[in-house]
């Protein structure tokens, strides 16, 4: 699965760990994709630090003392950007479908929070937008909606849309099959 995208901007209610009634027709966990391992991060920062240290030595040799400061800020900025990216990558989106309700939870290092809860019988799955960047998968109920699986690739989002819609249909009819 891919990176997690921000969900609908609304106040999130604390998630109660109450189990859902009856069997689950879907229990999808969308976890972030990590393209750079911890070891890769260390190698990248080491190479960047080495290049900046060599460049700083050249500038010091020519008498441009303030330049190495900016090169150090460069390394720190890259490290901060990766730290923020890593923190965002720890977010997990969980979508559960039972015969009674559809739940979307956001799990972070601070805990889990319920983002969406709606009766299965009235929940619709909508795929909005045609362009690759604009395709948006949403759960809808009356005039409420929430974006789900936003960071999945377009193909993964299309596949997930079919699976989620199928799980909701099976939950409505009470069939547990695949």
- Return per-residue pLDDT of the chain as tens, 178 residues: 332 233 323 333 444 456 666 788 999 998 777 778 889 989 999 999 999 999 999 999 999 888 889 999 999 999 999 888 887 777 888 999 998 999 999 887 787 888 889 998 899 998 887 766 667 889 999 889 898 987 788 888 889 999 999 999 999 888 665 5
pLDDT at 13: 42
pLDDT at residue 80, rounded to an integer: 92
Closest CA to 105 of 3, 16, 39, 2: 16
Domain coordinates in residue numbering, the chain: 13-33+91-173, 38-88
Placement of tokens 């040799």 in the chain:
61
- Write down the pTM of the prediction: 0.67
Question: Whole-angstrom Cα distance, residue 65 to residue 122?
Answer: 67
Q: Is 103 exposed, middle or buried (0-12, 13-18, 19+ CB in 10 A)?
A: buried
Beta bridge partners of residue 126, listed in sequence order? 138
CATH code for the part of the protein at 13-33+91-173: 2.30.29.30
pLDDT at 17: 53
Closest of 155, 138, 144, 158 to residue 95, by C-alpha? 138
Q: What pLDDT score does 1 carry? A: 32
């Amino acid at each position: 699965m891919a990176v997690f995208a921000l969900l609908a901007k609304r106040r999130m209610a604390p998630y109660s760990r109450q189990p859902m009634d009856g069997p689950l027709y879907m229990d999808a966990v969308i976890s972030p994709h990590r393209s750079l391992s911890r070891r890769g991060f260390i190698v990248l920062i080491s190479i960047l630090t080495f290049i900046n240290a060599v460049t700083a030595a050249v500038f010091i040799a020519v008498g441009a003392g303030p330049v190495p400061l900016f090169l150090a800020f460069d390394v720190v900025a890259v490290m901060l950007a990766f730290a923020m990216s890593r923190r965002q990558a720890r977010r997990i989106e969980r979508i559960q479908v039972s015969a009674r309700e559809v739940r979307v939870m956001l799990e972070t290092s601070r805990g889990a929070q319920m983002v969406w809860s709606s009766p299965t019988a009235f929940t619709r799955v909508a795929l909005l937008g045609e362009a690759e960047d604009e395709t948006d998968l949403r759960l809808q109920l009356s005039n409420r909606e929430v974006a789900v699986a936003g960071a999945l690739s377009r193909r993964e989002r299309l596949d997930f849309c079919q699976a989620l819609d199928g799980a909701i249909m099976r939950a409505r009819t009470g069939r547990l099959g695949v």
